[in-house]
Amino acid sequence: MQNTDSLEQRSMIEAPSFDVIIVGAGFAGMYMLHLARELGLTATVLETAPGVGGTWFWNRYPGARCDVESMQYSYSFCEELQQEWHWSERYASQPEILKYANHVANRFDLLRDIRFNSRVESAIFHEGEDVWQVSTDGGEHYRAKWCVMATGCLSAAQRPNIPGLGTFKGEIYHTGNWPQEPVDLTGRKIGAIGTGSSGIQVVPELAKLAKHLYVFQRTPNFSIPARNQPMDSAYETEWKQSYAQRRTAARTMPAGIFTDIGTKSALAVSADDRLLEYERRWAAGGTGFTGAYSDLLKDEDANSTAAEFVRKKIREVVTDPAVATLLAPVDHPIGSKRICADTNYFSTFNRQNVTLVDLRSNPLQEVSENGLTAGSQFYELDTLVLATGFDAITGALSKIDIVGRQALTLKEKWRDGPNTYLGLMTSGFPNLFIVTGPGSPSVLTNVIVAIEDNVKWIADCLAHLKTRGAETIEATASAEEGWMEHVGQAAEGTLYTKAKSWYLGVNVPGKPAVFMPYVGGVPTYQKICEEVAADGYKGFVIEGRSESLSARQAVG
Ligand code: NAP
């Protein structure tokens, strides 16, 4: 909370003032800065890291790679940018994505308005002045009328609460917070905990380096071979010849990804045809596998045809049948947890220097100075790699002390789960925008599409407020309630709620189990956002400078 000593008060009054403060210099924050400048607004970005890139700055573990094709996992807002940039692989590696982020920052001269090494600790709304005061860990204070949280959905690494973890004498690395300096793991006895997307990517790379690698698995996951390859120049040319049209077409697809999505039910075709289609998609590689049929994420029987196909593939690849059985997921429908894309993940378990340890039958007991005990077995280790995921979607926001009207904290407001209107704003917190917030499609899409659409909507909204001479915009409680009901209902009709996943927040002890993303898809969501704006920002209260404070105008 706000420190009220006089020195602090003085520095608050003297704090640099901007029209917009943007928290985070990932893909959302960078684009927001670019658009804020285009509107003629003064803006600054506050960023914890010493560089741009957001989650791609921190997730620099061996094997880190995007699971959306690089021709699509990039900004679409500038034709020259998308024409000039060359991706070297079908799926970009983390270093290449970071290079791209830096290219964008330089190309649009963004760096001069980004303050690096500045972790935002608090953002407090001052009601009398209608100003946000934002403070960092360095004791710096800033003031702005508008505050945009571009803090990311997968940016707060989740360290597991394992007894004795602090006593371990070797190195501990978290995939989501990997060191910036090179790490040499050659010849080490490594223990890797976690088999989600990060674990599935890092394990094959660790296996190449380790003297021995123990993979501690609690829950197996479905994974499809990525079939990554050097960029095919004909494919790149094809994309670049019609980039704008393809980007538009991508936005007509639920995940914002230009791909072929089956329109038939998996149960409406013969078993032979289904097999052919699954084989075709398995050979093509990538997460588009679950787009084979229209009902794979809606109907359990349809889903089990795809799940069984993948389990069979795992049994074919993994030579030890007992290990194959452990690696084959049976506790959730395929795609109900984020499906993974891998490079040689399952075949890694055929290596002599790799051991799979099943934590279901051998529960993790403790970490001690020299290793880890699971069941009754002690595993001597030099290094622990934690691929244990994120406090997703709300984690980065809940690390900041965000205080709205009447001293209400966001943590308190979201105690039973996050509430937003369109994922973009939350009532009681005027002028605070969230990019890819809970209640928006965010993590269920090509997130760059979700980011661009949210940021553009916010920028258009700021332009509208500027023209109107407005002081504040705030979601109404009733619009928010209606939206959250819609978000909940949309998820109910799907298989997403059948898995214990980070979509529901159940991977974080004490976090309320609420399905956070909006499953309605990019086109539906974007249409709603555009209609709300066209309808005079229906569901928001806008207070104008010329209007008296008591004459709140409920627009719509
Ligand atoms: P995750 O999917 O949440 O996986 C975390 C893993 O750690 C799970 O296997 C979990 O087991 C395990 N775990 C957590 N705490 C544990 C404990 N105390 N003891 C034992 N095991 C524990 O996290 P992630 O792999 O970092 O992926 C998160 C998301 O980031 C992905 O779903 C994806 O959206 C994104 N991502 C994308 C890419 C890509 O683009 N290719 C790469 C990496 C990440 P349980 O399942 O049993 O809880």
Tell me, what's the pLDDT at 15? 87
Write the DSSP symbol of residue 154.
Answer: S
Counting beta carbons within 10 angstroms of the beta carbon of residue 271, is it exposed (0 to 12), middle (13 to 18) or buried (19 or more)? exposed
Confidence of residue 195 (pLDDT cuts 50, 70, 90): very high
* Cα–Cα dist 396/535, whole Å: 32
Q: Does residue 552 carry a pLDDT above 60?
A: no
Q: Is 226 in the pocket of ligand 1 (CB under 6 A)?
A: no
SS3 state of residue 354: strand
Q: Is 336 in the pocket of ligand 1 (CB under 6 A)?
A: no
Q: Which residues pair with 300 in a beta bridge?
A: none
* Cα–Cα dist 198/177, whole Å: 12
Task: Report the nearest atom of ligand 1 relative to the CA of 340.
Answer: 41
pLDDT digits (tens, 9 = 90+) for 249-269: 999 999 999 999 999 999 999
pLDDT digits (tens, 9 = 90+) for 235-254: 999 999 999 999 999 999 99
Q: Is 287 in the pocket of ligand 1 (CB under 6 A)?
A: no
Tell me, what's the pLDDT at 388? 98
* Cα–Cα dist 30/429, whole Å: 23
Q: Is 220 in the pocket of ligand 1 (CB under 6 A)?
A: no
Distance from the alpha carbon of residue 285 to the mean position of ligand 1, in angstroms:
21
Tell me, what's the pLDDT at 13? 64
Tell me, what's the pLDDT at 343? 98
Locus of tokens 């004795």: 164
pLDDT digits (tens, 9 = 90+) for 18-32: 999 999 999 999 999
CA-nearest residue, atom 40 of ligand 1: 66
Q: Does residue 1 carry a pLDDT above 50?
A: no
Locus of tokens 């059985």: 325
Tell me, what's the pLDDT at 553? 41
Tokens of 8: 């602090």
Q: What is the mean pLDDT of residues 64-79?
A: 98
* Cα–Cα dist 364/217, whole Å: 10
* Cα–Cα dist 72/383, whole Å: 36
* Cα–Cα dist 254/523, whole Å: 6
Counting beta carbons within 10 angstroms of the beta carbon of residue 80, is it exposed (0 to 12), middle (13 to 18) or buried (19 or more)? exposed
Q: Is 219 in the pocket of ligand 1 (CB under 6 A)?
A: yes
Confidence of residue 118 (pLDDT cuts 50, 70, 90): very high
Amino acid identity, residue 98? L
Task: Report the nearest atom of ligand 1 relative to the CA of 502.
Answer: 3
Locus of tokens 């404070």: 549
CA-nearest residue, atom 36 of ligand 1: 197
Q: Hey, which bits of 399-550 come out as E strands?
A: 401-403, 432-434, 470-475, 540-544
* Cα–Cα dist 98/55, whole Å: 10
Confidence of residue 7 (pLDDT cuts 50, 70, 90): low
End-to-end CA gap in the chain: 35
Tell me, what's the pLDDT at 4? 45
Q: Is 194 in the pocket of ligand 1 (CB under 6 A)?
A: yes
Write the DSSP symbol of residue 145.
Answer: E
* Cα–Cα dist 437/149, whole Å: 9
Q: Which residues pair with 136 in a beta bridge?
A: 120
pLDDT digits (tens, 9 = 90+) for 34-57: 999 999 999 999 999 999 999 999
pLDDT digits (tens, 9 = 90+) for 532-547: 999 999 999 999 864 5
Distance from the alpha carbon of residue 19 to the mean position of ligand 1, in angstroms:
38
Tell me, what's the pLDDT at 2? 44
Tell me, what's the pLDDT at 544? 83
Q: Is 47 in the pocket of ligand 1 (CB under 6 A)?
A: no
Using only C-alpha atoms, what is the Rg of the chain? 24
Q: Is 35 in the pocket of ligand 1 (CB under 6 A)?
A: no
User: 389 and 196 in contact (C-beta within 8 Å)?
Assistant: yes
Q: What is the mean pLDDT of residues 512-538?
A: 97
Q: What is the mean pLDDT of residues 74-92?
A: 98
Instruction: Encode 26-38: b = buried (16+ Cβ within 10 Å), e = exposed.
Output: bbbbbbbbbbbbe
pLDDT digits (tens, 9 = 90+) for 121-180: 999 999 989 999 999 999 999 999 999 999 999 999 999 999 999 999 999 999 999 999
Looking at 401-476, list the stretches that DSSP marks H as alpha helix, in order from N- to C-terminal side. Answer: 410-413, 447-468
Tell me, what's the pLDDT at 185? 97
Q: What is the mean pLDDT of residues 394-423?
A: 97
User: 129 and 139 in contact (C-beta within 8 Å)?
Assistant: no
